[in-house]
Amino acid sequence: MKPGPPTEALTPLTSRGESTRERILQSAAEVLAEHGYAGTTLSDIAERAGTKAGSLYYYFTSREDLICEIMTRGITETIAHVTAAVEALDEGATSQERLAAAIGAHVRYLLTENDIARASIRTLGQAPADVQAPAIDLHREYGHYLSRLIKDATADGFLDPAIDSRVLRLLIAGALNWSTAWYDSGGEASVDDIADLAGRLATGRLAPPQD
Task: List pLDDT tens digits, range 6-50.
Answer: 444 455 557 777 888 999 999 999 999 899 999 999 999 999 999
- Residue 17 has a pLDDT of 72
What CATH number does residue 108 fall under?
Answer: 1.10.357.10
User: What are the tens digits of pLDDT across the range 179-208?
Assistant: 988 888 888 999 999 999 998 888 877 777
Residue 9 or residue 110, greater confidence: 110
Q: Is residue 147 part of a domain?
A: yes
Query: Would you say residue 94 lies in a domain?
Result: yes
CA 59 to chain centre: 23
Residue 55 lies in a domain: no
Identify the pLDDT of residue 92.
Answer: 93
Q: Taking 90 as the threshold, does the pLDDT of residue 69 lie above it? A: yes
Q: How large is the angle between the packed helices 95-111 and 129-155, nearest 10 degrees?
A: 150
pLDDT attached to residue 13 = 59
Count the domains in the chain: 1
| pLDDT at residue 6, rounded to an integer | 45
Mean pLDDT of 121-125: 90
Q: 57 lies in a domain?
A: no
pLDDT of residue 3: 44
Q: Domain range holding 157?
A: 68-202
| Residue 119: per-residue pLDDT | 92
Does residue 24 sit within a domain? no
Asked if the structure places residue 129 within a domain, the reply is: yes
User: What is the pLDDT of the chain when averaged over all its residues?
Assistant: 88
pLDDT at 211: 59
Question: Average pLDDT of 98-124?
Answer: 91
Q: What is the pLDDT of residue 9?
A: 46
b vs e for 5-43, b when ≥16 Cβ sit within 10 Å of the residue's Cβ?
ebeeeeeeeeeeeeebbeebbebbbbbbbeeebeebebe
Domain assignment present for 191:
yes
61 within a domain of the structure (yes/no): no
Average pLDDT over residues 109-130: 90
